[in-house]
Structures are given as structure tokens and as C-alpha cells.
């Protein structure tokens, strides 16, 4: 589901719809538990049982055979006490653009008897703008989904819309469709035309399945005689403040590891993931490393939604799902931990009143606990039964820099077919949405004085019957790149181009162009948009309906190539950290990262750490199996690592110890801020808009305050040149909440830049640029050209010196030749 709405009509085949309809009807009847539905459910379930395989293919659920009790696979071996249940298919690719709005867990819904009720707006489902309906048959809508462990028992659409005063009420209408089924038909009376209209539409829950499309269709006419189907008076607009009110009932199922990551994470759920992590007691540092691995695993699954992991010690939440970490014979009140004979992963049901399940990550010691966490992160698809014990685990191969699964490769051209499904690379019709390709790019690519990132673009288009404004428009995020004209069929006998252009029987032509994305548009989280715009022919009135028979498609073999750019970057730059976790995510497993806790930690520190590990996993798509966790007293042992520092003034001693190296220092309520002239244009220097030198700090501000704002600050590690440190500074209470919210808010992340950012509520202020240092490597020629470009006088002096050297060499050579000639 994109940040602009999917403009497509969903059509279900009868063979796939019937069994899905039957299964949903069974679930609804079980949920309401009425005497009327009981016999009906029995009969319908029998009718649906013969088509289970077809339903699984349609819904992405299939039966996966489980390994036997002693199955061996790479990299680990598991002892399994039970067989596997059906495992939902999961794709790690983002299902939404990275900039779409995500509903938070602040309002998870209202609990009702037997289930819950929740209302989400169209904006929550990804509609950044109102939905536009144009023409005599305009259609637009949203996609929504239902968790696998729930079924919808009631649905109400709160629709807010407006329509053209020119529509004829007798022959015009709005249709509400759910998965192609007509849920309601709304009249368009003249007395409500041109103003906002609010209307509630009840939707039959039997129409709703796991993955759904809700569309609003305009049947518009402005005359009963001949009309122009593209007339500008044929319009309607649906506000993205419209909302869908759904009531859910839970579906009973048995706990099974084969269902992972469900129910702890369900890709159908568009809300932010909130999954509590519970420790039996104060966690050791290796236990925190294990928890970070699991958090990054769930964070990589959550993707665009974001994930938070509230930490608790000694007790479990009153209700809902949770993950528990325990070693040895530790006990947690209310949790029946099974005997542990090795690294173990288990799932157990909670009491009926608690409404949830517990995922247990267990081991007899810290090393076994870390083994269980790694097994969950890299091998969860092989687990089954209620409990699994890992009997053999082979260490993972070391990662290479910049090889994160989610990132574009920087050592070869990458095919578009690797980044998006082939069906998502085509667009049909005059009102088709853009083809969208999500790009995660390392932020340290050195693109100074280059054309940008080359794309070898192969595409097909429908030729036009006459010259018009049709074009393929290319943009990245909201930045325009280039427009490629879609030509018309030439009628001239002298047009040699016709002999070299092969028009296929379907009136399409293949083309290939090389385009360049400007360096300023390449950000760590970018989206390439290719929009086939076809100009609607001006047929006029009484000439018949315009056929929607145009198509545009991008060849999956088109490539984007980052291999020609070295890695070199000026730091500190909090934008790289906020948007991609850089420089820590340079290694996908964070094997060159150490997280530094205060000597005395609390649950707020653990929660912030887990949130950051989840963000790292979402950035790389890989669990942080190599991360190191330490305390401030032992930080000197990890001088060769990049440092992620957590804590608040007064608790984190490094904020005082390294005061001269960072733009912030603090001790209790006393704070010192290093201020810089931040009025310059905040752009990426390596893209050619800013020289290699930063503005120096110009003032220090010291104060005592009882109201501590949250801070992010970056600086060069005092332990080793070229290594980086980023400090997340917050205090218990509102400061912690502001920092966590900012790191998960796609609207605030672009505001986090420079070397120090102060966060207060939803306000981010950049106060310092810090002292620049550089990471990466340039070839001698690259470095010399770049260094001299910032110092024109030095360039002139170098040219003069080079000229004198060449003159001296030639002078000596000519003198030698002359002397040899005179001797002869």
C-alpha cells in the first residue's frame, strides 16, 4: 500500500472467493456464538474443507512440513517435540513506502466483550492526500488487512466526501465496494453538492478477508445527451479523514512455534508494533545482547510500522503478548517456565483473562541464551511445536561492510526485479498510479562532481495515435528528475524512425534510456517513482467512450548502479544516524558497534536500547547478532568500535569525562551546550553543495535546569580517531517519551541533523555542527581533486609549482640533448 492510494479494481475469482467467504463466515459465527449460527457453521465448514489448499494459495498460507525430532540443517540443529502447523508466508520487503503515516499504539482500540474495536482513518492506512475521482467511472480507495488471529464481526465506514454540482442526481451515484462487492450505493442529491457530506455506511463483515481493498467509485453524468467522459465537471473527492470502524473477535488456536512471528507480529496489522520484553531479574550484559538480537529481528519484520519494546523486570504485563528472557532456574510470577536443557525457544498460552501468549527465550547460562536468540533471528522458519531446543548451532559467517539485505549493493548493478515484484512494475489506464521502487542507500556515497546515480531504464509504452503531452515522468520522493516523451505513430512516409521502431501487435513499443538521479535526491530512504502519464484524447461529445487501453511497464532487468562511488563522508551527521542507523549499520550485524550503558541501568535504558536495536534491524533487514553491550567503566576495552551511548546527565559518567570532545556535557541538572552558527543550508556536503569544512563552534552555554529535554549528539570517539560516537541523552519521564517518539516519527526524522539536536515534544532544534572528521576512503586522485577544490589559492600555487617542476625537468633534458650534440 503506497503513500498515494492504489487505484485499482479488485476482482476475486469465484473459485478463490467461495472458500474464503465460507471460512470467514465460520469464524464470524463462532465469534458471536449464537444458536442460529452453530448448525450453519458446521455445514459451511464441511463445504469449505474440500478447498483448503486453494484458500491457502489465495491467502499466502501454506502447509510447510516440519523437520523430524532430530532434523539437521545449517546453521543449527533442533530437537522438535511436535509437528508444524501452517506457516504464513512472509516477505521482508516493505509493504508501504517508507514515508507513509503509521498509526501508533497510543490508541490500540476499545476492548469489547469477546474482542476489540478500533477506528483508523484513511490517512492511517496510507492516504496522504484526499482521494480524487474523475470522469464517468472514476475509482479510488485504500487497502486494509485483518490480523490472522482475528475476524471482523462488524464494520462501519465513516465516509466524508464532496461531489460536483454538475452531476445529475437521477443518473449519477457513488458506489462503495469491498473486494469488488457492492457494499452500498450513495445518491448525489443536488442540495448537498459542492459541500462536505458525512455518511455512515454499514459493511457486511462477510465481504472482509485477510487482505482487502475498499474502493469508492463515481458513476458520474452531467447530461442525458452526448457527453465528454473527460469533462472537468465530473469529479468527486473523498477526504482522507474518512475512517473505517472495525469490531474484531479473536480466533482460537493452539500455541505453535511454526506460526512465528505470529501472534507477536502480524504483517497484516498496520499499527506500530508494541511488544514488551520481560527479564527475570536485572539482566546481565550478555542477556541484553540477546534481547537486542530479538528486538532487531522483530524490528526488521515491522519495517515501516516501527516497533517499541517496553522493558520490565520480574513481572509480566497484565495482558497481551510478551517476550521473556530467563536463564537457569529463575522464576517469574505467573509464568510456568519449562525445564531447560539447552538453548530453548518456547511459546505458551496466557490465562484467558490476559488475552495473549508468551515467547520464551531460555538457556542455562548467558551463552545459551544468546544462542537461542540467534536461532530465533535467523532460523525461526524451521521451528515447530510448543518448544524447541537447539542441539547444534554453527556460527554465522562474518558480514562484510555495506552488505545489509535491505541496502542496495554497492559493488554491482542491481536489477529492479530484485527490488519489486514484476506485477508492481506495470501500470494500466489513464489514471494509473506511479510505479514505485523503494531504495535504501548507504549515506556515505561520495558523489562530488558527478552526474549522479546511473539507471539503465528499459520500459514499454503504448504509442499515441497523435502527438500529445503523454510522457514517462521520473522522480525521487518529491523531487523531479526527468520526463521522457511518449511519442505518437508517425504518418509520414519520410520518417526513418518508423523503420527502427518496432510496434508490437498490442500497440506498445520498447525503449531504453540512461538517466541519472541527482546526488541531492539520493537519501538513505528514497523512493523512485515512474509515472506513465497518458493524455486523454479530446474526442469531444457524441464520439463514444474513451477506451482505457493504455499500458506502461518497467522491465525488471532495468538496473541502478552504485558501484562507481567510493565511501567517504564527513561526520558527525545525525541525519545519517536517524534515517539509516549509520555509521553503526555499516556492518549489518553491528559487529563493530558497542552500546555503552550507565553503570547503573534502569528499565528506561533497556527500552531505549531495544528500540534502537529494532530501528537497526528495520534499516538493515538483519538481526544484530554481533552487537556488544558494555558499561561506562569498561568502555576503554572497545576503542576499536563505534559507540552508542545511553543515559542521562548524572548517571552516564562519559558525559563529563568526554566533555571536551562532544558538543554537550552534563552533571545532574547542570548542562553545557556547544552552539554553532546553524544558519547555513543544511545539505549533504558530499553531494557537492558544501565544502569540506564545517562552521566552527562559536559559543558555549551553561545552565542549570530541572526540565531536561532529550538530546541526540554525535562526535568522534575519544578512544580512537576515525571511530564514531552517538549519545542518546534523556531522563525518565517525558524526556524519554519525546526521544522515543521522535526516533519513530517519519515527519520529525528529517529535522534531526548536524551534531546535536534538542527534542522537546514534537519540536527538533539543531544547535551544533560539531568538529568535522571523516570516515571512509578516497583514492589519491579523488582526494587531491576534492581537497584542492575548497582552496582555490592552494590550487593556483600547486599549478605554479607543478609548472616550475615540469619546466626544470624539460630544461635539464634539453640541456643534456644539446651537450650530447655538441660532443658529436
pLDDT of residue 6: 38
CA angle, residues 567, 306, 621, in degrees to nearest 5: 45
Alpha carbons 683 and 750: distance in angstroms, whole number: 11
Judge whether 703 and 758 are in contact, CB under 8 Å: no
26 phi/psi in degrees, rounded to 5: -60, -45
In this prediction, residue 539 has a pLDDT band, given cuts at 50, 70 and 90, of low
798 phi/psi in degrees, rounded to 5: -65, -40
* CATH topology match: 14-59+122-250 vs 414-560: yes
Alpha carbons 559 and 413: distance in angstroms, whole number: 6
pLDDT of residue 111: 56
pLDDT of residue 707: 59
In this prediction, residue 104 has a pLDDT band, given cuts at 50, 70 and 90, of low
Alpha carbons 523 and 3: distance in angstroms, whole number: 18
Answer with the residue of higher pLDDT: 281 or 236: 236
**Residue 695 grid cell:** 562552521
HSE (side-chain half, CA atoms, 13 Å) at 530: 27
Number of Cβ within 10 Å of residue 680's Cβ equals 11
pLDDT of residue 59: 34
Alpha carbons 262 and 49: distance in angstroms, whole number: 23
Judge whether 778 and 566 are in contact, CB under 8 Å: yes
In sequence order, the 6+-apart residues with CB closer than 8 A to the CB of 233 are: 164, 166, 167, 222
Kindly tell me if the per-residue pLDDT of 606 is higher than 80: yes
Q: Where are the domains of the chain?
A: 14-59+122-250, 414-560, 567-778, 791-823
In sequence order, the 6+-apart residues with CB closer than 8 A to the CB of 795 are: 788, 789
Judge whether 710 and 739 are in contact, CB under 8 Å: yes
Element (DSSP H or E) covering residue 618: helix 603-620
What's the whole-number mean pLDDT along residues 414-425? 93
Q: Which of 53-62, 123-132, 442-451, 560-569 has the lowest mean pLDDT?
A: 53-62
3-state DSSP assignment of residue 10: coil
**Residue 621 grid cell:** 533487514
Residues 227-253 have pLDDT tens digits of: 887 788 999 999 999 999 999 998 888
Judge whether 648 and 731 are in contact, CB under 8 Å: yes
| Cis bond before residue 274 (omega within 30° of 0) | no
Kindly tell me if the per-residue pLDDT of 465 is higher than 70: yes
In sequence order, the 6+-apart residues with CB closer than 8 A to the CB of 428 are: 548, 550, 551
Q: Which of 119-128, 317-326, 620-629, 695-704 has the lowest mean pLDDT?
A: 695-704
Alpha carbons 112 and 335: distance in angstroms, whole number: 26
Kindly tell me if the per-residue pLDDT of 45 is higher than 50: no
Q: Where are the alpha helices (DSSP H) in 50-166?
A: 52-59
Q: Which residues pair with 438 in a beta bridge?
A: 527
Exposure letters 638-663 (e unless 16+ CB within 10 A, then b): beebbbbbbbbbbbbbbbeebeebbb
Which of 364, 398, 400, 396 shows the shortest CA–CA distance to 377?
396
Element (DSSP H or E) covering residue 654: helix 654-657
Judge whether 114 and 250 are in contact, CB under 8 Å: yes
Kindly tell me if the per-residue pLDDT of 504 is higher than 90: no
Q: Which CATH superfamily is domain 14-59+122-250 in?
A: Galactose-binding domain-like (2.60.120.260)
Kindly tell me if the per-residue pLDDT of 790 is higher than 80: no
327: Cα separation from own chain's centroid:
34
Which of 473, 293, 461 shows the shortest CA–CA distance to 372?
293
pLDDT of residue 626: 94
CA angle, residues 247, 250, 252, in degrees to nearest 5: 160
Judge whether 1 and 100 are in contact, CB under 8 Å: yes
* Residue 386 DSSP symbol: S
Kindly tell me if the per-residue pLDDT of 544 is higher than 70: no
Number of Cβ within 10 Å of residue 504's Cβ equals 11
Kindly tell me if the per-residue pLDDT of 265 is higher than 50: yes
Alpha carbons 766 and 643: distance in angstroms, whole number: 21
Judge whether 231 and 215 are in contact, CB under 8 Å: no
Inter-CA distances, 769 with 88, 423, 715, Å: 47, 45, 10
Using a pLDDT cut of 90, give the percent of the chain over it: 48
Kindly tell me if the per-residue pLDDT of 178 is higher than 50: yes
Kindly tell me if the per-residue pLDDT of 339 is higher than 90: no
pLDDT of residue 383: 85
Strands 525-533 and 426-428: unpaired
Number of Cβ within 10 Å of residue 818's Cβ equals 10
Strands 664-667 and 670-676: antiparallel
111-118 LR contacts (CB < 8 Å, sep 24+): 112/247, 114/31, 114/32, 114/33, 114/249, 114/250, 115/31, 115/150, 115/153, 115/247, 115/248, 115/249, 115/250, 116/247, 116/248, 117/245, 117/246, 117/247, 117/248, 118/245, 118/246, 118/248
Answer with the residue of higher pLDDT: 788 or 620: 620
pLDDT of residue 736: 86
pLDDT of residue 113: 58
Burial (Cβ within 10 Å: 0-12, 13-18, ≥19) of residue 540: exposed
What's the whole-number mean pLDDT along residues 209-238? 90
In this prediction, residue 732 has a pLDDT band, given cuts at 50, 70 and 90, of confident
In this prediction, residue 44 has a pLDDT band, given cuts at 50, 70 and 90, of very low
Answer with the residue of higher pLDDT: 142 or 86: 142
Kindly tell me if the per-residue pLDDT of 519 is higher than 70: yes
Kindly tell me if the per-residue pLDDT of 298 is higher than 90: yes
What global pTM score does this model have?
0.80
pLDDT of residue 252: 83
Kindly tell me if the per-residue pLDDT of 820 is higher than 90: no
Judge whether 307 and 292 are in contact, CB under 8 Å: no
Which of 614, 747, 528, 743 shows the shortest CA–CA distance to 303?
614
Kindly tell me if the per-residue pLDDT of 83 is higher than 70: no
Rounded to the nearest integer, the mean pLDDT of the chain is 81
pLDDT of residue 792: 76
What's the whole-number mean pLDDT along residues 167-183? 94
pLDDT of residue 683: 38
Answer with the residue of higher pLDDT: 216 or 109: 216
**Residue 711 grid cell:** 538530546
53: Cα separation from own chain's centroid:
32
In this prediction, residue 36 has a pLDDT band, given cuts at 50, 70 and 90, of very low
**Residue 256 grid cell:** 505453535
* Residue 195 DSSP symbol: S
Q: Where are the alpha helices (DSSP H) in 392-535?
A: 497-500
**Percent composition of the chain: helix, strand, coil (DSSP 3-state, to 5):** 25, 30, 45
Which of 251, 250, 256, 252 shows the shortest CA–CA distance to 85?
256
Q: E-strand spans in 1-128?
A: 61-62, 76-79, 87-88, 110-112, 115-121
Q: At what angle do helices 603-620 and 734-743 cross, to 10 degrees?
A: 0
Alpha carbons 428 and 7: distance in angstroms, whole number: 10
Could you tell me which CATH number the domain at 414-560 has?
2.60.120.260
Number of Cβ within 10 Å of residue 368's Cβ equals 22
Amino acid at each position: 500500500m503506497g503513500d498515494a492510494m492504489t487505484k485499482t479494481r479488485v476482482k476475486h475469482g469465484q473459485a478463490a472467493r467461495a472458500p474464503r467467504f465460507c471460512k470467514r463466515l465460520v469464524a464470524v459465527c463462532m465469534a458471536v456464538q449464537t444458536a442460529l449460527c452453530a448448525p450453519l457453521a458446521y455445514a459451511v465448514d464441511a463445504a469449505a474443507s474440500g478447498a483448503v489448499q486453494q484458500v491457502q494459495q489465495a491467502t499466502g498460507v501454506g502447509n510447510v512440513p516440519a523437520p523430524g525430532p532430530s532434523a539437521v540443517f545449517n546453521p543449527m540443529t533442533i530437537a522438535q517435540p511436535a509437528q508444524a502447523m501452517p506457516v504464513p508466508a512472509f516477505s521482508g520487503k516493505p509493504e508501504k513506502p517508507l514515508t507513509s503515516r503509521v498509526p501508533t499504539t497510543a490508541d490500540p482500540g476499545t476492548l469489547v466483550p469477546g474482542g476489540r474495536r478500533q477506528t483508523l482513518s484513511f490517512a492511517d492506512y496510507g492516504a496522504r492526500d484526499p482521494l480524487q475521482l474523475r470522469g464517468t467511472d472514476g475509482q479510488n480507495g485504500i487497502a486494509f488487512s485483518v490480523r490472522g488471529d482475528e475476524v471482523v464481526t462488524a464494520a462501519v465506514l465513516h465516509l466524508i466526501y464532496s461531489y460536483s454540482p454538475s452531476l445529475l442526481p437521477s443518473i449519477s451515484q457513488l458506489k462503495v465496494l469491498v473486494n469488488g462487492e457492492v457494499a452500498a450505493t450513495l445518491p448525489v442529491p443536488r442540495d448537498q453538492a459542492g459541500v462536505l457530506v458525512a455518511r455512515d455506511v454499514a459493511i457486511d463483515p462477510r465481504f472482509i478477508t485477510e487482505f482487502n481493498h475498499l474502493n469508492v467509485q463515481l458513476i458520474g453524468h452531467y447530461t442525458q445527451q452526448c457527453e465528454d467522459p473527460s469533462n472537468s465537471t465530473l469529479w468527486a473527492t473523498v477526504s482522507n479523514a474518512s475512517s473505517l470502524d472495525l469490531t474484531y473477535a479473536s480466533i482460537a488456536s493452539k500455541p505453535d512455534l511454526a506460526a512465528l512471528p505470529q501472534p507477536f507480529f502480524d504483517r497484516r496489522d498496520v499499527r506500530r508494533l508494541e511488544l514488551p520484553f520481560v527479564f527475570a531479574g536485572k539482566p546481565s550484559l550478555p542477556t541484553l545482547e540477546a534481547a537486542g538480537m530479538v528486538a532487531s529481528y522483530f524490528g526488521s519484520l515491522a519495517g515501516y510500522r516501527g516497533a517499541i519494546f517496553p522493558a520490565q523486570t520480574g513481572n509480566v504485563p497484565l495482558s497481551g503478548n510478551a517476550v521473556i528472557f530467563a536463564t537457569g532456574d529463575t522464576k517469574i510470577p505467573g509464568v510456568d517456565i519449562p525445564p531447560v536443557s539447552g538453548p530453548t525457544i518456547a511459546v505458551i498460552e496466557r490465562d484467558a483473562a490476559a488475552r495473549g501468549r508468551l515467547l520464551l527465550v531460555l538457556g542455562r547460562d548467558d551463552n545459551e541464551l544468546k544462542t537461542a536468540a540467534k536461532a530465533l533471528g535467523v532460523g525461526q522458519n524451521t521451528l515447530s511445536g510448543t518448544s524447541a531446543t537447539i542441539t547444534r548451532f554453527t556460527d554465522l559467517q562474518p558480514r562484510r561492510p555495506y552488505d545489509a539485505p535491505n541496502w542496495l549493493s554497492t559493488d554491482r548493478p542491481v536489477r529492479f526485479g530484485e527490488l519489486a515484484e514484476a506485477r508492481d512494475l506495470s501500470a494500466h489506464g489513464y489514471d494509473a498510479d506511479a510505479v514505485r521502487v523503494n531504495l535504501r542507500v548507504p549515506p556515505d556515497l561520495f558523489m562530488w562532481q558527478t552526474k549522479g546515480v546511473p539507471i539503465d531504464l528499459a520500459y514499454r509504452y503504448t504509442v499515441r495515435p497523435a502527438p500529445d503531452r503523454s510522457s514517462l515522468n521520473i522522480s525521487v520522493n518529491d523531487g523531479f528528475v526527468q520526463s521522457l516523451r511518449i511519442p505518437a505513430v508517425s504518418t509520414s512516409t519520410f520518417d526513418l524512425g518508423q523503420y527502427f521502431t518496432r510496434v508490437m501487435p498490442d500497440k506498445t513499443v520498447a525503449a531504453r534510456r540512461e538517466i541519472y538521479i541527482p546526488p541531492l535526491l539520493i537519501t538513505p530512504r528514497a523512493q523512485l517513482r515512474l509515472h506513465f502519464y497518458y493524455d486523454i484524447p479530446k474526442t469531444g461529445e457524441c464520439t463514444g467512450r474513451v477506451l482505457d487501453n493504455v499500458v506502461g511497464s518497467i522491465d525488471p532487468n532495468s538496473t541502478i548502479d552504485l558501484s562507481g562511488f567510493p565511501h567517504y563522508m564527513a561526520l558527525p551527521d545525525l541525519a545519517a544516524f536517524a534515517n539509516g542507523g549509520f555509521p553503526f549499520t555499516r556492518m549489518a550485524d553491528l559487529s563493530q558497534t558497542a552500546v555503552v550503558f550507565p553503570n547503573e541501568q534502569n528499565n528506561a535504558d533497556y527500552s531505549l536500547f531495544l528500540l534502537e536495536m529494532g530501528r537497526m534491524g528495520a534499516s538493515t533487514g538483519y538481526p544484530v547478532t554481533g552487537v556488544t553491550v558494555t558499561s561506562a567503566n569498561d568502555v576503554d576495552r572497545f576503542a576499536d568500535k563505534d559507540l552508542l551511548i545511553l543515559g542521562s546527565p548524572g548517571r552516564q559518567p562519559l558525559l563529563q569525562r568526554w566533555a571536551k570532545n562532544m558538543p554537550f556535557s552534563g552533571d545532574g541538572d547542570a548542562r553545557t551546550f556547544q552552539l554553532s552558527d546553524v544558519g547555513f543550508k543544511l545539505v549533504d556536503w558530499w553531494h557537492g553543495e558544501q565544502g569540506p569544512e564545517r562552521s566552527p563552534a562559536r559559543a558555549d552555554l551553561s545552565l542549570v535546569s530541572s526540565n531536561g529535554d532529550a538530546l541526540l549528539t554525535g562526535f568522534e570517539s575519544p578512544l580512537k580517531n576515525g571511530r564514531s560516537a552517538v549519545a542518546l541523552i534523556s531522563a525518565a519521564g517525558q524526556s524519554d517519551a519525546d526521544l522515543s517518539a521522535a526516533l519513530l516519527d517519519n515527519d520529525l526524522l528529517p529535522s534531526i541533523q548536524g551534531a546535536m539536536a534538542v527534542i522537546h515534544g514534537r519540536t527538533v532544534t539543531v544547535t551544533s555542527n560539531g568538529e568535522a572528521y571523516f570516515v571512509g576512503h578516497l583514492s589519491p586522485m579523488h582526494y587531491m581533486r576534492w581537497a584542492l577544490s575548497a582552496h582555490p589559492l592552494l590550487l593556483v600555487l600547486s599549478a605554479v609549482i607543478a609548472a616550475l617542476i615540469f619546466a626544470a625537468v624539460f630544461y635539464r633534458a634539453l640541456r643534456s640533448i644539446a651537450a650530447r650534440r655538441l660532443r658529436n
